Structure 1
């Protein structure tokens, strides 16, 4: 035998061995809404289905969809092979902003390419897929009144046709997300398949579906932020709440006040320029997500403000006497020149964030003892015939809010609603006295059963929910300023997130709840721990806010495992593993 034939024989044997090793030994059949594993034999190989195909049909809804759609689904129990190289889009619109639609379609195509193993090529051939998208308007405005719903219809006729109807880009984008989840890899036949026919409508129950990421206490790269936004898009969350500054660092570059980031950033490379922010905003918009800026004040300021003379109790020690965590710092709200600086910051923020429809002014954990430590501030209050009681300091805080919001309005082309955290100021009598319920939205971070929540709602305020007993994702780890566990322990599992119903928190006032946000404060998180702390728990919040299903977490468990796997495989998100893979392959056998 020649050397060439010998080498060819070795290569052929290796390929045959690889092929045999890659052939699955198991298939699945649907029994009582569960996918049951069956050993593949020559007799059943033609009729057995892969786990991914079984999950499509063996559920009350398509078991690959997350979040669960809100409309009735016309089910199908057949799939058809499609050709990944023959997917085309047809649309009647998107002429005003073609770049965003191009980004959405390119992303869709890239997602499909990530669905089969990289060790060998998917089988060639298959039906063409034509995606026809019909929208009513080219308008890309996104606010709390924007309709995000859609209708999706799939038919197998002269190739596979998917027909999307929506009012705007955002509904169409959501439809593409669902369509992508109905396309799966069949590892028995080594092909990409899609549901042969279906039809359903879908729209979210809540308008505001968010993740908060604190990028001040620890820095997160733009790549990590984009990866988070990518995961959000996959589960139809629609708001990235960017807590971009705090007392520990000031990483946001303000061109009119460069000293803020120069003195306040952890290092010259740990900053966010105007170009960085605009890049994130546009990346998110193409995925149906607003980027909500938060400039926390009048507390939670410090680093970066050293040379301005506009703070009180900056880095005061012992810090526990002046604030809740080091370093301390609050704005010197009695100084008129402060508001000129705030106006400059607000101007650049609204420009860089492309004039967002909402603005977050923070407003949490203001310390009376911090303000009261300033003799200059005390003198100013006494000269106005105020006292130095708790009531007087709430009046001082009201003075700040009035001046700050007037400066925001000067630089913002849209008179946006302003969000504030719950605090002493959001309690009566100060709530009604200083905060107009037509202008302010209150974001709660107390427990879900706090009676103060009902008081806020009774006064007519709209609300965003971030109750720390279910939606603070930094809870349940070791303390960082003392021994033991951190203050909001224990750890919150995805099950508790999923069962955290807005109706249970707001009662009869649930129509005043815009939605909710999972918060990841970053005292003990950086981008290397980011994915596992957010995902897939944020997916649980996404389904609760999108479809608000009647069933509890147990009814969603199998789909959650599929969703977690999709986040890993398609977005490269290092999501926390919830169970052994055996549980996914033996559905229904793990839960007690």
Structure 2
């Protein structure tokens, strides 16, 4: 709730809630109760219908839309706990020994890999029930169906499935090079050979696949329509920063997000250039410092961007 309240204060008006993943299906649904009872981490780590209603209502009170994401057809290993017949390559190790990277069964370790099997009628029955109930819980007109990390190797492991492709939709930008707030904190898998590489190779990313760390300046400088023509730019609906939870929890949530997400809020609403077309820099730093102080006074543990001396003297400028 503190996060959503801070989002409203920063004029970041959409909370994209990535509710389910391969490791856990924590959303308790009346139409498909076994997805959570068998696929979540446990009864104390689930979201009830009342929990969802409280989040949605609090979002509305703070001017923040709550858009749910039920990740599929990939990242559905947790579904196999309740319905193993609708999930391909379930209960298989994500990276079989001797198999090259492009032939792996998932992009990361989980309880197991898993992609929904599109040729099983039962798949559509379960998905329909999930969509139907989720649509009643979240009043927003948008719903995110995932489509993240679809790995052909998983479907190839099932002889009945052919590779499926789709193209041509509008875009919400969330670049790993600029908008992934969890980047730069190393790797959560063990025995990563990236740490053993010489300088000039992956070692420079510190073992983080999307490293280095994305500073607020890097984020603020990013233009989400750069390189697009006028027609293409109209297909860009907006942008979103993301924080994945492999290496983040409630202890670090505020400082990982704020004030870097504040920079995104300003850029997406007001741009990053002044009326003459020049990139804003010094005034942005001062404004962001003041905003950090306001967030902290509201109980949001935003991290500092300058020493206190710079904040008080306004003299930490590179000409």
Q: Provide the C-alpha distance between the structure 2 equivalents of 1:549 and 1:580, rounded to a whole number of angstroms.
A: 24
| In the alignment, structure 1 residue 478 sits paired with structure 2 residue 201 | no
Q: 2:234 maps to what in 1? A: 511
2:217 equivalent to 1:495: yes
Instruction: Note closer, same or farther for the CA distance 1:554–1:255 as it changes in structure 2 (3 Å cut).
Output: same
1:346 offset after TM fit, Å? Answer: 0.7
- Ranges in structure 1 where 5+ consecutive residues have no aligned partner: 1-225, 379-391, 395-424, 433-439, 441-461
Q: How much does 1:505 deviate?
A: 4.9
**Counterpart among 308, 313, 319 of residue 95 in structure 2:** 319
Counterpart in the other structure of 2:145: 361
Confirm or deny that 1:338 pairs with 2:123.
yes
Structure 2 residue corresponding to 1:556, chosen from 281, 284, 301: 284
CA drift of 1:552 comes to 3.0
Decide whether aligned partners of structure 1 residues 502 and 339 sit closer, same or farther in structure 2, where only a CA change above 3 A counts.
same
Aligned position for 2:8: 233
Asked whether the 8 Å contact 1:516–1:545 carries over to 2, the reply is: yes
Residue 318 of structure 1 and its aligned partner are, at CA, apart by 4.8
Match of 1:292 among 40, 64, 67: 67
CA distance in 2, matches of 1:303, 1:333: 17
| Alpha carbons 1:244, 1:294 under 8 Å: kept | yes
Name which of 164, 167, 171 aligns with 1:431.
167
Q: Secondary structure at the match of 1:293?
A: strand
After TM superposition, the structure 1 = structure 2 runs for residues 182-221 of structure 1, keeping only pairs within 5 Å, are: none
- Give me the whole-angstrom Cα distance separating, in 2, the residues matched to 1:289 and 1:505: 30
For 2:95 and 2:266, how far apart are their aligned partners in 1? 40
Stretches of 4+ moved more than 4 A in 1? none
Secondary structure (helix, strand or coil) at the match of 1:269 reads: helix
Cα deviation for residue 573 of structure 1 reads 1.1
Shift of 1:315: 3.4
Count, aligned residues: 288
Q: Distance in 1 between matches of 2:52 and 2:21?
A: 17
CA distance in 2, matches of 1:549, 1:368: 39
Q: CA deviation at 1:528?
A: 1.1
1:569 aligns with 2:297: yes
Q: Is the 8 A contact 1:297 1:363 kept in 2?
A: yes
Asked whether 1:463 is paired with 2:176, we answer no
Partner of 2:199: none
Conserved in 1, the CA contact under 8 Å of 2:79 and 2:87?
no
In terms of fraction of residues, the more strand-rich structure is 1
Tell me: CA distance 1:231–1:302, structure 2 relative to 1, closer, same or farther (3 Å): same
Q: Contact (CA 8 Å) 1:498, 1:553: kept in 2 or not?
A: no
Number of the residue aligned with 1:161: none
Matches within 5 A, 1:246-265: 246-265=21-40
* Contact 2:94–2:109 (Cα < 8 Å) also in 1: no
Query: 1:295 is paired with a residue of what secondary structure?
Result: strand
1:103-143 deviation line (CA, Å, top 9, x unaligned): xxxxxxxxxxxxxxxxxxxxxxxxxxxxxxxxxxxxxxxxx
- 1:254–1:505: structure 2 CA closer, same or farther, 3 Å change rule? farther
Q: Distance in 1 between matches of 2:9 and 2:227?
A: 27
Asked if structure 2 preserves the Cα contact closer than 8 Å seen for 1:313 and 1:371, the reply is: yes
| Separation (CA, whole Å) in 2 of partners of 1:318 and 1:357 | 35
CA distance in 1, matches of 2:50, 2:227: 40
Question: Are 1:590 and 2:316 counterparts?
Answer: yes
In structure 2, the residue corresponding to 1:567 is in which secondary structure?
helix
Question: 1:181: which partner in 2?
Answer: none
Following the alignment from structure 2 to structure 1, what is the Cα–Cα distance between the partners of residues 244 and 261? Answer: 14
Does residue 539 (structure 1) correspond to residue 259 (structure 2)? The answer is no
Q: In 2, distance between residues paired with 1:503 and 1:335?
A: 40
**TM-score scaled by structure 2?**
0.86
Cross-structure match for 1:212: none
User: Which of 370, 375, 381 matches 2:154?
Assistant: 370
Task: State the SS of the aligned residue for 2:163.
Answer: helix
Provide, for residues 484-531 of structure 1, a one-character-per-residue CA deviation record: whole Å limited to 9, x for no partner. Answer: 421000000001111111232534332332110001111111111111
Whether the aligned pair in 2 keeps the contact of 1:473 and 1:492 (CA below 8 Å) is: yes
Please list the CA deviations of residues 54-75 of structure 1 after superposition, one character each: whole Å capped at 9, or x if unmatched.
xxxxxxxxxxxxxxxxxxxxxx
- C-alpha displacement of 1:305: 2.5
